[in-house]
Every structure is written in structure tokens, then in C-alpha cells.
Amino acid sequence: MDLEKLLTDRLAPAFEKVAGLPVDPVVRRSQRADFQSDAALALARRLGRPPRSIAAEVLDRAELGDLCAVAEVSGPGFLNLTVADRALGGLVAALATDPRLGVPVAAEPETVVVDYSGPNVAKEMHVGHLRSTVIGDAAARLLEWLGHRVVRANHLGDWGTPFGMLIEHLADLGEAEAAQELSMGDLDAFYKAARAKFDADEAFRERSRQRVVALQGGDEATLRLWRLLVEQSERYFLAVYELLDVTLTARDFQGESSYNDLLAPVVADLDRAGLLRESDGAACVFPPGFAGRDGEPLPLIVRKSDGGYGYPATDLAAIRHRTGSVGATRLLYVVGLPQRRHFELVYAAAAQAGWLVPPARAEHVGFGSILGSDGRMLRSRSGESVKLVALLEEAVARATWLARERNPDLGEAEAAEVGRAVGIGAIKYADLSSDRHKDYVLDWERMLALDGNTAPYLQYAYSRIRSIFRRAGTAARPDAAISLVEPAERALAIELLGFSGVVAEVARSLDFHQLAAYLYRLAAAFSAFYERCPVLRAGGELRESRLLLCDLTARVLRQGLYLLGIRTPERL
């Protein structure tokens, strides 16, 4: 059980009695004592009483005897709380026998659709898709672990006008040649060649336009070529997911094209509900409360003037499908911040149409850009956007090289495996440990460093604990009596008990940097503990107790990193 929550639950009724209204005690970790509440300060003005006297009365009324060794008023009116060693030991012992490490499954499990990755057919995934893939996968792992039914939706861009030129280019190359080129993952070359012809050659342009018509009209020969493009791209994306240790599978592709048959009914329903207005020949919804810079209401174009449906109509159909047929109540869209406005309009229109009504709700899990060391959008040396695969391969190569340098005895295969776990882990962790709402700078040195808030540091902490057990030659006894004598030992115990609170918070906010920061604090607390408290050299019960603390730390690190999608090798 989360200590902060435990203390909150004890203080809240006392505060309520004193204040005559519900009060959040705001219990936080503190330097002065284990925890501190400053709620009395905030209440003082409201109650017209000195904060110290409020705090003192709360202490009188709160039942803290079994939990706290010291509970006192300090400074202007803080409540300082020091947890009793016995209580702490008991809570840690309960954690040790809990396979879920104190994290309860959701009391009300729901169906959650996580829309993430969403690359585009016949186009290279770029670093923006990396963030979506990494953050979305962490969300899927976390919510699944909490007992929710998670539906992974890979909203593949597999439809629209560019397919005219792509299919024509494919037909020009011949199927065998095209399949070869695409299977090598040279999607950009393919796309660019098609584009170049389209720009240069009027006849090709005309053929491309006719292809779009044939594609939309369901022409079988055209559909076959289109499927070839989609299949080759999907195969390539799956290889990237595998390299990236991402849980997306072939079953999770829910391409834009899969909503084709729903588009006309969606627009018809909007019309019936009286929500459509014509604007420059296009059919639009104008959700209330959205205005452009000029103050004019913003449209969501659901049918273009040429009669075609685009990205917004597809997203509306997807929402109706997800809340209707799939039965989801929480819809997550892990997509870059530039698309924020699009999603706000789509959610508002879906709400008006009755497809997104409580308890169902949608959240845009937005994120900033990845920047190069020059502080600008990440570019390759030739100035183009960086290919995701190139980035991942560089990470693995660098990490493998570092692993060999640090440990020359490492065999070839082992070095490769460590290099992969560390390199991929470093990339993912660099992303997940940064506040997703902001841009972040991709810095190889920092993300691969063995110290600081990095994946290698946490993986190293994990492997170090595993090596303690290799030397001990035994596993920890889950029923060992916990004794917390040293301050570093107590500090570690308190961190261990904080896991469930952080997980609960991140399940709500999807701010994974908070989970990362927690794991980093835990690893640092372990480091301090291990420096000051001998484990293998301690005797008898103390040794058992400390081994159990080591084991718990390893389990929390492993589970926490698993939730972030990061591997924990036994040896580095």
C-alpha cells in the first residue's frame, strides 16, 4: 500500500472535522521527516485561525499511533510525520509477498483503445512516429497490467490520393521489382521516385488520377496492387516494431481504409442530426467554441468538394466504431502536438453526434518534437528527416561498442544482445523520461551514460542486484523478517512503497517521465543503501532482511522498466 495514500486516509477525516469541510491533506515526501502535510497553512485564512493551532488540533484528532513514530507540528504549521520502523517493516513485508508489488488491479476495468504509431504506407517512419510508438506502447502495457482491456489501434495511413501515383509507379516497376525494393525497407526511395514522376510527367499524373478513381471504385486489379503496397509496408513496420521491442502485432493494423464503408453512413448521420453545413462546396461540421485567428468558426471538413472523404471523416468513423462496436470508454490518441486542433474538432463533432458521450471520453496524448544537438528539428547530415531505422541501428551499434569496451570478456553474441537491450532501451528511455509535452534533444552521450537518469543506469542497477544473488547463491526469502535500522535502509523501504502511487498517477496522466523519475529515485536509493549497508557480509536475520530489500528493488525496477518497454538483462 502506498504510504502517502495511507497517511492521507488517516489525516483527511481529522482535517474534515477541524475545518468542517473535506480537505486534501496534501501529504508529500519531505527532507525534515519522512512526510509532510502543509494543508493547515492553506486553511488558515479560510478558517481565520493560526495554522499551527489548526495543525495541532488535526494531530489531536488523527489516528496515527500505529503508523507514525513521530507526528509533530513544525515551523509555521507543517505537520511532520515520521513513519514507525515497525509499520514500515510490516508494509515492506506485505509488498514482498505480493506478486503485483502493491499495485492493485483497476477496481473498474474498462476498454481502452490506444491509437498509436500510425505510420503511412510506402513512406518511411520518421522520428515523430518513434515518439508515438514508444509512448503509446508504454500506455498499452501499463493499462493492460492494471487489468484494463486494451485495444491497440495502429491507424495506418493506407488510403487517399497519393495512392494513385504510388500504384502507377508500382505498375511501372513491375510487381516483382517493386516488392523487392519495398522489402528492403527503402520506402523513401520508392515514394520519392513516384513523386518525381508525378511532378515531371503530365501523362503519369493523368494515369495516377485515374488510378485513384479505379481504387475508390473497387477495381480488382488496382486493389491487388494496392494490397501489395500495404502488405510490404506492414511487413517492414513489423520488423521495426520487433527491433524496437514494441508489442504491436499484425493484428493491430487498423488502416484508414478499414473505415471506408462507414464514411458515407457517418456523414449521413451528421446530416440527419442537422450538423452539416456547406462551405465552398465541402460538407462541414462547425463544432461550437472553435474559432480561427480571424474569429471565424473553424470547420471540420467531412466531405470534400470533389465528394471524397479525408482524414477527419475517417477519424469520426473510427470514434463511432471504437465507442460503438468495440465498446471502449477511454480513447487515447498518441499523436504529435501539431495535430491537437484536428483532434479537438473531431472529439467535439463526435460529441455533438452522440458518438462520444460519458462515460466514454477521448484524450489526445500529445508530444513535442525530437531535436538535434543544434536545438532544431532532427535532420540527417544531408538535411533530410532522419530515418527511424537508421537511428535505432546507430543506438544499437553505439551500445554494443560501449558494452565491449567496458567488458572485453563479453562474447560476440552476448555483446550483441546487451547492445541491443541497452541501445534500444536508451532511445526509448530518453523519450519516456522527458516531459512529453515538450521537445527534447537527442543526445547520444547522455542517453547512453551509465550515470544519471538513463536506461543504462537503471539496467545496470538491476544487473548489479542480480549479481548479488549470483554471489549469494540463494534467492531472497519472501517471508524474511524485515529490519530497518540504517537510515539508508529506511529510505529505500519508503521508495519501494511509493511504486503503486506513481503507477496510479501515471495511469491517469500518461506522463511517463514521472514513472522514469521514480525508478531513478529508487535506483539512487538502492545505490546509497548498498554503499552503507553490507548485504552478503551481514549475518543471520539482517542478511535475510537486506537480501529481501535487494530483491524487491530488482522486482520493482524490472516491472517499472517493463512498463516502459525496456529490457532488463541479467548481466551487462
Residues that bind ligand ARG (CB under 6 A): 115, 118, 120, 155, 157, 315, 318, 333, 335
- Which residue, 57 or 115, has its beta carbon nearer to ligand ARG? 115
Q: Give the three-state DSSP class for 405.
A: helix
Q: Do the Cβ atoms of 526 and 465 come closer than 8 Å?
A: yes
Q: Please state whether beta strands 111-115 and 282-285 pair in parallel, antiparallel, or not at all (unpaired).
A: unpaired
State the minimum distance, in angstroms, from the CB of residue 508 to ligand ARG: 22
Q: Please state whether beta strands 330-333 and 111-115 pair in parallel, antiparallel, or not at all (unpaired).
A: parallel
Q: Where are the alpha helices (DSSP H) in 249-372?
A: 260-272, 311-323, 340-353
Q: Do the Cβ atoms of 17 and 74 come closer than 8 Å?
A: no
Number of residue whose CB is nearest ligand ARG: 118
Residue with cell 467531412: 302
- Which residue, 150 or 496, has its beta carbon nearer to ligand ARG? 150
Q: Give the three-state DSSP class for 147.
A: coil
> Cβ contacts of residue 291 below 8 Å, gap of 6+?
297, 298
State the minimum distance, in angstroms, from the CB of residue 131 to ligand ARG: 12
- Which residue, 366 or 498, has its beta carbon nearer to ligand ARG? 366
- Which residue, 23 or 334, has its beta carbon nearer to ligand ARG? 334
- Which residue, 348 or 402, has its beta carbon nearer to ligand ARG? 348
State the minimum distance, in angstroms, from the CB of residue 501 to ligand ARG: 31
State the minimum distance, in angstroms, from the CB of residue 321 to ligand ARG: 11
State the minimum distance, in angstroms, from the CB of residue 139 to ligand ARG: 14
341/313 Cα distance (integer angstroms): 15
Q: Give the three-state DSSP class for 35.
A: strand
Tell me the C-alpha to C-alpha distance, in Å, between residue 495 and each of 84, 426, 482, 488, 522.
15, 23, 15, 11, 6
- Which residue, 154 or 545, has its beta carbon nearer to ligand ARG? 154
* Helix or strand (DSSP H, E) at 69: strand 68-74
* Identity of residue 43: L
Q: Give the three-state DSSP class for 80.
A: strand
Phi/psi for 457 (5° steps) reads -60, -45
- Which residue, 363 or 414, has its beta carbon nearer to ligand ARG? 363
- Which residue, 57 or 315, has its beta carbon nearer to ligand ARG? 315
State the minimum distance, in angstroms, from the CB of residue 455 to ligand ARG: 26
* Identity of residue 145: W
Among 71, 66, 73, CA closest to 82? 71
Q: Do the Cβ atoms of 78 and 41 come closer than 8 Å?
A: yes
C-alpha cell at 99: 506478486
> Cβ contacts of residue 78 below 8 Å, gap of 6+?
32, 36, 37, 38, 40, 41, 55
C-alpha cell at 280: 465552398
* Helix or strand (DSSP H, E) at 151: strand 149-153
State the minimum distance, in angstroms, from the CB of residue 319 to ligand ARG: 9
- Which residue, 326 or 468, has its beta carbon nearer to ligand ARG? 326
- Which residue, 4 or 256, has its beta carbon nearer to ligand ARG? 256
State the minimum distance, in angstroms, from the CB of residue 236 to ligand ARG: 15
Orientation angle between helical segments 260-272 and 340-353, nearest 10 degrees: 60
State the minimum distance, in angstroms, from the CB of residue 276 to ligand ARG: 21
C-alpha cell at 169: 509507379
State the minimum distance, in angstroms, from the CB of residue 87 to ligand ARG: 48
State the minimum distance, in angstroms, from the CB of residue 254 to ligand ARG: 9
- Which residue, 103 or 165, has its beta carbon nearer to ligand ARG? 165
Tell me the C-alpha to C-alpha distance, in Å, between residue 118 and each of 136, 209, 320, 341, 540.
10, 25, 18, 18, 55
State the minimum distance, in angstroms, from the CB of residue 341 to ligand ARG: 13
- Which residue, 323 or 433, has its beta carbon nearer to ligand ARG? 323
State the minimum distance, in angstroms, from the CB of residue 240 to ligand ARG: 14
State the minimum distance, in angstroms, from the CB of residue 74 to ligand ARG: 51
- Which residue, 76 or 324, has its beta carbon nearer to ligand ARG? 324
Q: Give the three-state DSSP class for 363.
A: strand
Beta bridge partners of 364: 333
- Which residue, 159 or 198, has its beta carbon nearer to ligand ARG? 159
Respond yes or no on whether the N-terminal peptide bond of residue 99 is cis (omega within 30° of 0): no
563/364 Cα distance (integer angstroms): 20
Q: Do the Cβ atoms of 101 and 91 come closer than 8 Å?
A: no
338/251 Cα distance (integer angstroms): 28
Q: Do the Cβ atoms of 166 and 229 come closer than 8 Å?
A: yes
